[in-house]
Amino acid sequence: MGVDTPEKITAAFERAYNSRDKGMLMALYDPDAVHTFDGNTIAKGHSAISAAFDRGFATPLKLVGQMLSCMVSGDTALLRVQWQSRGPEEKLGKANISCEVLARGSDCLWRYVIDDATGGSRPVTLAKS
């Protein structure tokens, strides 16, 4: 599937996730993509990424995304997106900022190659020398 411009990926992801359509969701990811929710556990490839979404799909929570920035250079795009969960009572949860890298494929469609769901929200930890 993919999208024809990077700016459309947030709405496409939100639609696929909220309808619990794993096929549509995985079509937004490159087959070799990597994904993490926490920066520690990395899922690589469609099978692992699909499994990583099982926990979220088992809840009634929906996601609401707002693109904060999109920079494009050639066939690569870097996005920052604010995501919030929304419960059945329509109350929004805590916001997290994702860091997302998209690539344009040979079919001219854009897909995630790196998706760090909370990368812009996690505290910075510097290695001690």
pLDDT at position 74 is 97
**pLDDT averaged per 10 residues, the chain (length 129):** 96 97 97 95 96 93 96 98 88 89 98 95 71
pLDDT digits (tens, 9 = 90+) for 59-74: 999 999 999 999 999 9
- Please give the domain boundaries of the chain with CATH numbers for all domains: 6-116 (3.10.450.50)
CA dihedral 88, 123, 47, 81 (to 10 degrees): 60
Question: What pTM was estimated for this model as a whole?
Answer: 0.91
- Residue 26, token pair as written in the block: 């995985």
Confirm if 28 and 12 have CB atoms less than 8 A apart.
yes
Query: Nearest-CA neighbor of 97 among 71, 77, 117?
Result: 117
Confirm if 83 and 98 have CB atoms less than 8 A apart.
yes
pLDDT digits (tens, 9 = 90+) for 84-102: 998 888 778 888 999 999 9
Confirm if 84 and 92 have CB atoms less than 8 A apart.
yes
